[in-house]
Amino acid sequence: MARRSDILLPACWVSVLAFLYLPIGILILFSFNRSKLTASWEGFTFDWYLALAHNGPLLSSLWNSLVVAAATTAIATLLGTMAAYAIDRGLNRRQEQLVDAIIHLPIIIPEIVIAASLVIFFGLIGLRLSVVTIVLAHVAFSISYVILTVRSRLAGMEPALEEAAMDLGADEWTTFRTVTLPHILPGIVSSGLMVFTLSIDDYVITSFVAGVGSTTLPLSIYSMVKQGVTPEINAVSSLLLVGTLLMAGVAQRLSHTLEE
Amino acid sequence: MRHKILAFILVCLVVARRLDFASPGLAATIAWIVVGAFACVVGALVLARILVRVPRWVGVCLCALVLILGAKSVPHRQESKLNLYIWSAYLAPDTLPEFEKRHGVKVSFDTYDSNEAILAKLQAGNVDYDLVVPSDYMVEILIRENLLAELDKGALKNLKNIDPAFLDKPYDPGNRYSVPYFWGTTGFGYRKDKVPGVIDSWKVLWDPKYRDRITMLDDMRENFSAALHSLGYSSNTTSTAEIQQAKELLMKQKPLLKSYNSGNFHEMLLSGDAWLVQGFNGQVAKAMKENPNIGYCLPKEGCTISFDNLCIPRNAPHRELALLFMDYVMEAEVAAKLVNACYYSTPNRECVPQVSAHIRENSAIFPARENLAHTELIHDVGRAVEAYDAAWTEIKSR
């Protein structure tokens, strides 16, 4: 029996990994394909990456995506952390339950409903659709993730620590800065990273609230796919993947050092 | 305290309304840059101070980065700027630069992936596109929804370059709101080396000899159009009996199909995975360029034709500029460059001599006029769409 599970278990996780990562591997492989077709392999080339460097519209949509993701991350983590702190410290149990339910809503509500309601809302207050509305929309749907992550860090914190700091003469701001913040920082960093990735690959909501001069990368790729998937799309997807992986690695190391 | 917060929010809303992002103006732009830069600096400094373990230079770098990002993302507002909303790959590399140079204006463009995206954006009403490029049926809908501006024909001197055969279509009688930009047909592409004989009819897509080498578009109306035309009916029929016959024909074809494919049928043709593919002429034309053994057939029984059209939204902020651009792309030389770059059929008859010879000779892009005699536009079929839907569901689920 033991021997059978020796074979079965590795086979199991290898096939799960293959299922998860084989498509991505093939996508990267074919971004180096000499052929214009995604159907057959015809030799190695860097041409598509060079072509990418000259594809103005695609590059400007990449820039839009980065700006939106960076702004969303900054705003959502700042507001989300503040909200989490306020909820943790300022509310009684019943209020907390109510607020909890409200915070979970944006995660549960279908994206398409959020998108439609945001468009109607922006129309009502007369805000023109642009990069700004995309950022606002992204903050709206991603802030819940920050609140939840940071709150779980706050919940695991010993209240005696803050009390000790106050006893030693630190005011509230100093206590927050030197005791509370370092403790919840890993939560902030990891939720910030999550917000960044959520923002950079969002299609449904972005397609509704995008306006003049604000085509993001996912929108641009969707419209290009109309004419068939080209190796250029593979190339830009691979770059995005490598970039995100690098960022995840850096953030992980950062949060490790912060935790120590 | 609560009153102060409320008052603050109110003031913010009023200011936001005043500094409406669409309304250009130096003061607003400067205000945004100042406020944005100040917020960025303060934010970055606070962040750098808070991150106690991070060395000071990281904070400074972060600060600089945020500043640059902030300054760059402030929208540069110019009075004379044209905002295009257009399909991907619908412009030649020098179409926009040339127009910008000639008129000293800036053109920005966004792309979309469906006609419905245009409808959604224009219906929302708070977006500043000056020119959109909807397909025929969408032009009809946009006109009905009162979302398009009537064109000032006096400003369109190059309208005479457009072949009258492509004007005055039922979706916009008299071209009051639209001028055609590109048009296309839905026939089928085939491998000349694998499918011998005279290919001029839909019937070959029902030939059991080519089992597993045929693909059809993954599109209800296009499938019915092929079946209805090969039965000798109109592709816009509302007769239940005719729809029923077409359904049976498509059912009979299904076992022969490799797949329903709207995305990369031209690649399957090139790789030889499929020999007969129902598809749009533009994509098949691109495959024909790669491999001379590929042909395109406009079936003699008839097929569908579609038009993408330049239109100006009713609330476009730069209507004159949009008209200028419309007139510009109808110039023979500009239109020829568009065809050379995009590989689509043009309604512009004056540009043909300037189109590259190999494109002019491509039968998918420039079909013989008599082959277009039986083409049909796809219309809204009203209530009959339920019969189509039911039949299509049955076909797909079998």
CB contact (8 A) between residue A226 and residue B52: no
Contacts of B117 in chain A (CB under 8 A): 207
B72 and B213 co-located in one domain: no
pLDDT at B149: 95
- pLDDT tens digits, residue range B310-324? 999 999 999 999 999
Domain count, chain B: 3
Nearest CA in chain B to A41: B271
Confidence of residue B40 (pLDDT cuts 50, 70, 90): low
Domain check: are B201 and B276 in the same one? Answer: yes
Of B14, B42, B77, which residue is a domain's last?
Answer: B77
User: Taking CA atoms, what residue in B is nearest to A175?
Assistant: B50
**What is the per-residue pLDDT for B7?**
58
Are B215 and B156 in a shared domain?
no
Distance from C-alpha of A215 to C-alpha of B127, rounded to nearest angstrom: 13
Final residue in a domain of this structure, among B48, B77, B106: B77
Same domain, B263 and B386: yes
Same domain, residue pair B188 and B133: no
Q: Quick check: is B10 in a domain?
A: no
Q: Which amino acid is at B132?
A: V
CB-based contact, B21 to chain A, within 8 Å: yes
| Residue B264, domain member (yes or no) | yes
Residue B19 pLDDT > 80, yes or no?
no
Q: Are residues B298 and B159 in the same domain?
A: no
Determine, yes or no, domain membership for B9: no
- Inspect the interface and report whether the beta carbons of B110 and A214 lie closer than 8 Å: yes
Question: Least CA distance to B16: which residue of chain A?
Answer: A127
Residues A178-206: tens digit of each pLDDT? 899 988 988 898 899 889 988 998 999 99
CATH number at residue B172: 3.40.190.10
Is B363 among the domain residues? yes
Judgement on whether residues B90 and B166 belong to the same structural domain of the protein? yes
How far off is chain B from A215, nearest CA to CA, in Å? 6
Q: For B148-169, what is the mean pLDDT?
A: 94
Token pair 């008839």 is found at B302
Residues of B in Cβ contact (< 8 Å) with A257: 53
Q: Which carries the bigger pLDDT value, residue B224 or residue A44?
A: B224
Is B61 part of any domain? yes
Domains and CATH numbers, chain A: 56-259 (1.10.3720.10)
Q: What is the C-alpha separation between A250 and B376, in angstroms, rounded?
A: 58
For residue B344, pLDDT over 70 is answered with yes
Looking at the predicted complex, does its ipTM rise above 0.90? no
B390/B342 same-domain check: no
Is B105 found in the same domain as B62? Answer: no
Asked if B209 and B290 sit in the same domain, the reply is yes
Residues of B in contact with A212 (CB under 8 A): 83, 108, 110, 127-129
pLDDT of residue B9 exceeding 80: no
B43 touches chain A (CB under 8 A): yes
Mean pLDDT, chain A, rounded, equals 87
- What mean pLDDT, rounded, does chain B reach? 85
**Domain region containing B205:** 184-305+375-397
The answer to whether residue B254 sits within a structural domain is yes
| Inside any domain, residue B2 | no
pLDDT band at B24 (very low <50, low <70, confident <90, very high): very low
Q: Residue A2 has what pLDDT? A: 59
For residue B376, list its beta bridge partners: B304
Where residue B301 falls (left for φ over 0; alpha for ψ -120 to 50; beta otherwise) is alpha
Which of B54, B77, B100 is the C-terminal boundary of a domain?
B77
pLDDT tens, residue by residue, B44-102? 556 555 555 556 666 666 666 665 555 444 444 445 789 999 998 899 989 999 999 99
* B1 within a domain of the structure (yes/no): no
All residues of chain A having their beta carbon less than 8 Å from the beta carbon of residue B128 are 128, 211-212
Chain A CB contacts of B53 under 8 Å are: 182, 257-258
pLDDT band at B211, cuts 50/70/90?
Answer: very high
First to last CA, chain B: 67
Question: How much is the pLDDT for B369?
Answer: 84
Interface contacts (A, B; CB < 8 Å): 117
pLDDT score of B207 more than 70: yes
pLDDT digits (tens, 9 = 90+) for A134-166: 999 999 999 999 999 999 999 888 888 888 998
B52 vs A132, A182, A222: nearest CB: A182
Residues B129 and B29 in one domain: no
B154 and B292 in a common domain: no
Alpha-carbon span A234 to A51, nearest angstrom? 12
